Amino acid sequence: MTTKLDSLLDFDLTKYMADFKAPGVNVDALVSTHKKNIEAMTAANKLAYESFQTIARRQAEILRQGLEEVSSVSAAPISDLSSVNDRIAQQTSLVKDAFEKNLSNVKELAELLIKSNNEVFDLLSARFSQSLEELKGQLEAAPKAATPAAAAAPAEAPAADEPKAAAPAAAKAPARKPATV
C-alpha cells in the first residue's frame, strides 16, 4: 500500500522540467542538489524525533525512580528516632539527597538534549557545506556552458568619437539631507 508520503518522495521533477531550457542552468544538477537537501532534512527530522523519544523515555524512567524513592521513604518510619532534632536531621538529609538527585537528572537530560541538537546541527551543517560546494561548481560551469559563442567573439572597444555611457541614475539624484532629530 502506497502512502501519500511515498508518492511525494517518488516525485521526479526532472520529468516535468525536461522542457525547461535556461542557458547555463543544469536542471538535473539543481534537482539533484535539492533532492539531497530534502534527504538531509528528512534525516535530521528523524534524528531529532529519535532523540526526543530517548529523552522522553529517560524522563519517564526518572519519574518512576522518583516515585519509588518517595514510596520507600514514606514507608520508612520516622517515629523510630527519639528526638525531634534527629527527625529534622533525617528529613533534611532526605531533602538534600532528593535535591542532588534531581539536579543530577536535570544535568543528564540537558546533556542528552545538547548531544541531540549537536548531532542534528552537524548533519545539517555538513549538507549545507556540500550544497554550497555543489552550487559553486554549478555556477563555475554555467558561464562556460551558457556563452560558448560569446567567448569566441572578440570584445569590441568603444570608438573614440562615441560619447561615454550616461552616469547611473543614482549618481544624478540629488543628495539627501541628513534627518535631524
Q: In this predicted model, what pLDDT tens digit does every residue of 67-119 receive, in sequence order?
A: 888 888 777 666 666 788 888 888 888 889 989 999 999 999 999 999 999 99
d(C-alpha 116, C-alpha 108), whole Å: 12
> How large is the average pLDDT for residues 22-29?
72
d(C-alpha 29, C-alpha 135), whole Å: 9
Q: In this predicted model, what pLDDT tens digit does every residue of 109-126 receive, in sequence order?
A: 999 999 999 999 999 999
Q: In degrees, to the nearest 5, what angle opens at C-alpha 105 toward C-alphas 104 and 107?
A: 65
pLDDT at 175 over 70: no
Q: In degrees, to the nearest 5, what angle opens at C-alpha 59 toward C-alphas 56 and 65?
A: 145
d(C-alpha 138, C-alpha 132), whole Å: 10
The counts of H helices and E strands in the chain are: 6, 0
Q: What is the pLDDT of residue 30?
A: 80
pLDDT at 166 over 60: no
| C-alpha cell belonging to residue 5 | 508520503
Task: With cut-offs at 50, 70 and 90, classify the pLDDT of residue 28.
Answer: confident
Query: In this structure, are residues 88 and 19 in contact, taking their beta carbons and an 8 Å threshold?
Result: no
> How large is the average pLDDT for residues 120-148?
82
pLDDT at 12 over 80: no
> How large is the average pLDDT for residues 41-60?
95
CA distances to 40, 78, 119 from 45, rounded to whole Å, are 9, 50, 11
Task: With cut-offs at 50, 70 and 90, classify the pLDDT of residue 31.
Answer: confident
Share of the chain above pLDDT 90, in %: 36
Q: What is the pLDDT of residue 13?
A: 59
Residue type for 14, please? T
pLDDT at 21 over 70: no
Q: What is the pLDDT of residue 111?
A: 95
